A and B are shown apart, each in its own frame.
Chain A
Amino acid sequence: MKNNPPRLAQRFFSWYCRNHLHDSILGDLEEQFYQNQLKHGTRRAKLLYWLGVFQFINRFTLKRDHYSTSYTFYSVSMIKNNIISSLRFLGRNKGFTAINLFGLTLGFSSFLLILFFVNHELSFEKFHKNKERIFRVNFSFQDNAGNVTTLVNSPPALAPGIREKFSELEKISRMRYAMNSLFSNGEIRFYEDHGYYADSLFLEILEFELSSGDPNTALDQPNSIVITEDMAIKYFNNSNPVGATLLFNNSVPLKVTGVLSPIPTNSHLNFNFLISFPTYSVPEGYASDLTSWGWLGFMTYVKLKPNADSKQFEKGLAQHFKDLNPEDLTPLLPRLQNLSDIYMGSDGMADDLASHIRAGNRFSVKALMIVALLILIVAGFNFSNLTHALSINRSKSTGVRKVLGANRKGILAQLLTESLILTFFCMVLSFGIVFLLFPSVSQYMKWEFDLRFMDILKLAPVLMIVGIFIGIISGLYPALTLARIDIIKSLKGTLKITSRNPLQLKNVLLLFQFAVSIGLICATIIMTKQIDYLRNKETGYNAENVVLIKMLPEDMSRYFEVYKERLIQNSAVLNVSRSDRVVGDPWPFGGIQRVDEDPEMSKRIFFNLADYNYFETMGIPLSSGRSFSKEHTNDSTQAIIINQQAATYLDLEDPIGKQVHFFELDGPRTIIGVVEDFNYSSLHQGIEPAVVILPFIDLEYMYVRMASGNPKAQIGILEDTWKQVAQSTPLEWRFLDDNLDRLYQSEERLSSMIQVFSVLAILLACLGLYGIVTFMVNNRVKELGIRKVLGASVHSLYTLFVKKYIYQALLAMVIILPVIHYLLNAWLKDFAYRIHINWWIYPVGTLLLIMMILITITFQILKAAQTNPTRLLRHE
């Protein structure tokens, strides 16, 4: 054991006591230590010494001498001085400063844009009052095969049937999608498909704002309609047409009882009009009516009383459905979904009516948030690296500052002030840029929302914190480097800020930037490929050159036959048919079973109602049997066509001629044909068993297969013929493949965002690299000269410098590979049909980055390498 006072205790004391008392106290302690050592022995003396050191912690020892800092760096004049010298320095390096500011502004702008998008995604339904008490009633049900389906829809009898029954209930309202609605005011006639029939209480549950009219009574009377301002102007050229009349479907006059303020874009419901519910009548031929407890064709919203237990209510509701038909073993299962959860939480739930409900995707919000953060980090690193590269130019002035008495803290303060000011400047600049660019960006990305001042204000504190954080963090590295420099070396001009250590921070930062860039490039490639794949995937039908025409059921029954007749005569028209549901929209389902099966064993099956020639028009090949034909008069009531999946599903080896129970109008139906599987819904889902029967109600969709040709000419034929048939009734047409594209809109939106931001990330990485290479070339000018004198060729010098960055890019690929592979697979999992991720994607992404790297640095290196060595070496 050494006989000196414990070193650690001494250092601890020296650490906390830094003033004029330090020496005398430590002296006293040491003297006392030796006295104690004589009296009590070394061990005890050491203990007492430790004790003494702790006992000395008091206000006298903790106080710093005011003269230990020679000036305060936060005084006004010092800040002024710092700013002036920073500005002079930046002015002297205009090009570099511009690049640096550009990079940071770019980073901030992207961050802001994503932030606005994410903010909007997360703001859904926030504007509703009492949202924690408002629920939508969804229904789940199970068929005998155990398939569970959840629909956002509910039966029509629910709202009137339980209104009085539950004490938890404050208000309940149902709505029905008003699919194809033709409105007219005199000559102004349009089809509208964004609207609902709604119960009178609807506007008291979901309190959408009315700019005129009374929300409590607007929907009370039959034949009332509430429309948005946009629609009011469209039909009446007047934003307040309350009291005016709008003709609905050529026959029903509706009185405008209210005008809706624009529906916020952050609402899952997306409508232009609400018709009072009593106006609705069940179309002719439907198997159900409004007293049905099983027809899931409506939506029901409830508002519970304050403090009511929603779980209790859900249970009671489930019991209610059990009691309706005690013999049913698998009754409908009601599920409450809170309003705030609807937008993000409806994945996998179908809307039977495809009524333009907005649905979000948690994954893409998360992915974008990560991308935003990465871009911000990359921009910060960039700033760091560029500032660091510049700092070699100011090492002399820093040396002079130090000679004049600046200490580390002073230098740090100066540099951090500078980086904070620059960060804030960029922040303000990027706000301006985002404002200017927002309209075009949001159009490109298919965003639906506007930039609102309130949102910006709300995000301002977050942005302030981000700005300060980025300013300090990214300023710290260059500042610390400069604050540490050796005065003498810096003044002599022999200072080297580089080191050969590969783990030097700037190399790590660069590696990170490379990794992010490669990751985003690969993500872009995969997402683009996947969306292309979906677009071009064999769906089993041919949507090209098919025009989809929507019309009112009455018009369909009145005009279809004539129109078809006339069209067929034109050689450009190959086939005409119609159906109840369009491919791409969800199909309804019913129960099916073989005649030889127990009637209890009905299975769920998707179906469509389709007219003669449907399969021919859609280009769906029959694999056996025949399609519907007018020659067989029984087809409309007793025939059914199934797909191959359905044959397996029903366990039929030779299905033609077999009989099944399905929508019986006149006894069991005979299977007359089997069609090859085709994907009737979106490619997110696989092909499921489906059947098609001839319609027993009026249909709304008509298909015309045209010979390939100029789309304008094709539509011309359709419109001209339509005018001869139906005179003034407007024709609502769309190409089927355009109609299908909207199925993949949210994927495309995500993909286009990722695309844009990956380009930005690469740009940022290249900017950073540019800075680093400039710095390195400046630093190694003499080395270059000497190498040249000793006989190095331009080529060998070039490889010498470039090699390192290529290795770094490769290393970055290795690092990012597992991460990006995992994330992309997680994204692809959502699709039933997906591409396989080829391993070569990653090297290709890396190669792209390497190419960008070479483009960025080649010029600079060649310039230095081609300079006459005498000029490089002449300096001293």
Chain B
Amino acid sequence: MRLHLGEFEEIVLLLVAVHHNDAYGLSIANSIKEKLNRKVTLSSVHTALYRLEEKGFVKSEIGGATKERGGRSKRLFKITSLGKQALEASRQSRNLLWDMIPRITFDGL
């Protein structure tokens, strides 16, 4: 159970991994909108990130203040090894289930 990921959490966690060194709330939110074409609010991404941090799947540090942020630093997230395990576990379980689908299921769909 400790490694369980929700669907949205999984996406956010994957994107943390994707945005290596530049994973913070807004960049992830933008990616979800652009790459996955999903509507998402900034606050829900943040909330997901904090929840992931609570579970120990990501860790955060301060850095990267820019002018368009009003000089405020970003909270940059990095995936932890536990996070990686969680992603892998989730991927494995999916693969396992995909493999178990009998061919006949998709016939005629």
Interface residues of B in 5-60 (CB under 8 A from A): 24-26, 29-30, 41-44, 46-47, 50
* B68 located at the interface, meaning its Cβ lies under 8 Å from any Cβ of chain A in the complex: yes
Interface residues of A in 198-257 (CB under 8 A from B): none
State the majority secondary structure of interface residues on A. helix
Cα A51 to Cα B44 in complex, Å, equals: 12
B72 x A60 contact (CB < 8 A): no
B70 x A28 contact (CB < 8 A): no
Cα A52 to Cα B66 in complex, Å, equals: 20
With A27-B69, A60-B50 as known contacts, state yes or no: A21 contacts B75, CB within 8 Å: yes
Q: Mark A45-73, 1 if CB is under 8 A from B, else 0.
A: 00000011001101010000000000000
A24 x B42 contact (CB < 8 A): no
* A30 located at the interface, meaning its Cβ lies under 8 Å from any Cβ of chain B in the complex: yes
* A341 located at the interface, meaning its Cβ lies under 8 Å from any Cβ of chain B in the complex: no
Task: Tell which of A5, A24, A51, A56 touches B74, judged by Cβ atoms closer than 8 Å.
Answer: A24
* A835 located at the interface, meaning its Cβ lies under 8 Å from any Cβ of chain B in the complex: no
* B89 located at the interface, meaning its Cβ lies under 8 Å from any Cβ of chain A in the complex: no
* A377 located at the interface, meaning its Cβ lies under 8 Å from any Cβ of chain B in the complex: no
Cα A31 to Cα B65 in complex, Å, equals: 11
Cα A60 to Cα B50 in complex, Å, equals: 8
B47 x A60 contact (CB < 8 A): yes
B43 x A52 contact (CB < 8 A): yes
With A31-B69, A34-B68 as known contacts, state yes or no: A24 contacts B43, CB within 8 Å: no
A24 x B62 contact (CB < 8 A): yes
With A52-B41, A55-B41, A58-B47 as known contacts, state yes or no: A28 contacts B68, CB within 8 Å: no
Q: Mark A7-49, 1 if CB is under 8 A from B, else 0.
A: 0000000000000010111111111101100000000000000
With A24-B74, A27-B74 as known contacts, state yes or no: A55 contacts B43, CB within 8 Å: yes
Cα A645 to Cα B25 in complex, Å, equals: 98
Nearest A-chain residue to B64, judged by Cβ: A27
Residues of A within 8 A of B44 (CB): 55
B73 x A27 contact (CB < 8 A): yes
With A23-B72, A24-B74, A58-B47 as known contacts, state yes or no: A29 contacts B42, CB within 8 Å: yes
Nearest A-chain residue to B44, judged by Cβ: A55
Residues of A within 8 A of B62 (CB): 23-24
B92 to chain A, nearest CB (A): 30
A868 to chain B, nearest CB (A): 61
Q: How large is the interface on A (under 10, 10 to 19, 20 to 34, 35 or more residues)?
A: 20 to 34
Task: Tell which of A25, A34, A51, A58 touches B25, judged by Cβ atoms closer than 8 Å.
Answer: A25
Number of A-B contacts (CB under 8 A): 62
A30 x B24 contact (CB < 8 A): no
Cα A24 to Cα B53 in complex, Å, equals: 15
A177 to chain B, nearest CB (A): 83
A30 x B74 contact (CB < 8 A): no
Task: Tell which of A24, A34, A52, A58 touches B72, judged by Cβ atoms closer than 8 Å.
Answer: A24
B75 x A24 contact (CB < 8 A): yes
Cα A153 to Cα B2 in complex, Å, equals: 87
B72 x A27 contact (CB < 8 A): yes
B40 to chain A, nearest CB (A): 11
Interface residues of A in 804-838 (CB under 8 A from B): none
Cα A28 to Cα B43 in complex, Å, equals: 10
Residues of A within 8 A of B68 (CB): 30-31, 34
Nearest B-chain residue to A27, judged by Cβ: B72
Cα A380 to Cα B18 in complex, Å, equals: 66
With A26-B72, A27-B69, A27-B70 as known contacts, state yes or no: A56 contacts B26, CB within 8 Å: no
A32 x B42 contact (CB < 8 A): yes
A24 x B41 contact (CB < 8 A): no
A47 to chain B, nearest CB (A): 13
B70 x A55 contact (CB < 8 A): no
Cα A556 to Cα B62 in complex, Å, equals: 110
Residues of A within 8 A of B43 (CB): 52, 55-56, 58
Residues of B within 8 A of A35 (CB): 26, 30
Residues of A within 8 A of B24 (CB): 24, 28
The residue in B26, B44, B47, B74 that gathers the most chain A C-beta atoms within 10 A of its C-beta is B26
Residues of B within 8 A of A58 (CB): 43, 47
With A24-B62, A55-B41 as known contacts, state yes or no: A32 contacts B26, CB within 8 Å: yes
A26 x B70 contact (CB < 8 A): yes
Cα A5 to Cα B68 in complex, Å, equals: 11
B65 x A28 contact (CB < 8 A): no
Cα A29 to Cα B42 in complex, Å, equals: 8
Task: Tell which of A5, A31, A51 touches B26, judged by Cβ atoms closer than 8 Å.
Answer: A31
A55 x B42 contact (CB < 8 A): yes
B89 to chain A, nearest CB (A): 25
Residues of B within 8 A of A27 (CB): 65, 69-70, 72-74
Residues of A within 8 A of B50 (CB): 21, 60
Interface residues of A in 77-102 (CB under 8 A from B): none
A19 to chain B, nearest CB (A): 11
Cα A35 to Cα B65 in complex, Å, equals: 16
Residues of B within 8 A of A51 (CB): 41
Cα A30 to Cα B70 in complex, Å, equals: 7
A145 to chain B, nearest CB (A): 84
Task: Tell which of A5, A23, A25, A30 touches B46, judged by Cβ atoms closer than 8 Å.
Answer: A25
Nearest A-chain residue to B54, judged by Cβ: A60
Interface residues of B in 73-106 (CB under 8 A from A): 73-75
A720 to chain B, nearest CB (A): 105
B42 x A30 contact (CB < 8 A): no
A28 x B26 contact (CB < 8 A): yes
Cα A291 to Cα B48 in complex, Å, equals: 94
Nearest B-chain residue to A34, judged by Cβ: B68
Residues of B within 8 A of A55 (CB): 41-44
Cα A27 to Cα B72 in complex, Å, equals: 5
Cα A26 to Cα B75 in complex, Å, equals: 11
Residues of B within 8 A of A29 (CB): 42
A60 x B46 contact (CB < 8 A): yes
B73 x A23 contact (CB < 8 A): yes
Cα A32 to Cα B29 in complex, Å, equals: 10
The residue in A24, A25, A32, A60 that gathers the most chain B C-beta atoms within 10 A of its C-beta is A24
Cα A21 to Cα B72 in complex, Å, equals: 11
Cα A24 to Cα B25 in complex, Å, equals: 9
Nearest A-chain residue to B29, judged by Cβ: A32
A52 x B42 contact (CB < 8 A): yes
Nearest A-chain residue to B26, judged by Cβ: A28
Cα A295 to Cα B77 in complex, Å, equals: 100
Cα A31 to Cα B24 in complex, Å, equals: 12
Residues of B within 8 A of A31 (CB): 26, 66, 68-69
Nearest B-chain residue to A33, judged by Cβ: B68
Residues of A within 8 A of B73 (CB): 23-24, 27
Cα A58 to Cα B50 in complex, Å, equals: 11
A268 to chain B, nearest CB (A): 69
Cα A274 to Cα B55 in complex, Å, equals: 85
Nearest B-chain residue to A54, judged by Cβ: B43
Nearest B-chain residue to A55, judged by Cβ: B43
Residues of B within 8 A of A26 (CB): 70, 72
B41 x A28 contact (CB < 8 A): no
Nearest B-chain residue to A10, judged by Cβ: B70
Task: Tell which of A21, A30, A52 touches B69, judged by Cβ atoms closer than 8 Å.
Answer: A30
The 10 closest A-B pairs by CB, nearest first: A27-B72, A24-B75, A27-B69, A55-B43, A28-B25, A28-B26, A56-B43, A60-B50, A23-B72, A30-B70
What is A's interface to B at a CB cutoff of 8 Å? 5, 21, 23-32, 34-35, 51-52, 55-56, 58, 60
29 A-B pairs, CB-CB below 8 angstroms?
A5-B70, A21-B75, A23-B62, A24-B62, A25-B46, A27-B69, A27-B70, A27-B72, A27-B74, A28-B26, A28-B42, A28-B69, A29-B42, A30-B69, A30-B72, A31-B26, A31-B69, A35-B26, A52-B41, A52-B42, A52-B43, A55-B41, A55-B42, A55-B43, A55-B44, A56-B42, A56-B46, A58-B47, A60-B46
What is B's interface to A at a CB cutoff of 8 Å? 24-26, 29-30, 41-44, 46-47, 50, 62, 65-66, 68-70, 72-75
Known pairs A27-B73, A56-B42 / 18 extra A-B pairs, C-beta < 8 Å = A21-B46, A24-B25, A24-B72, A24-B73, A24-B74, A27-B69, A27-B72, A27-B74, A28-B25, A28-B26, A28-B42, A28-B69, A28-B74, A30-B69, A55-B43, A56-B43, A58-B47, A60-B50
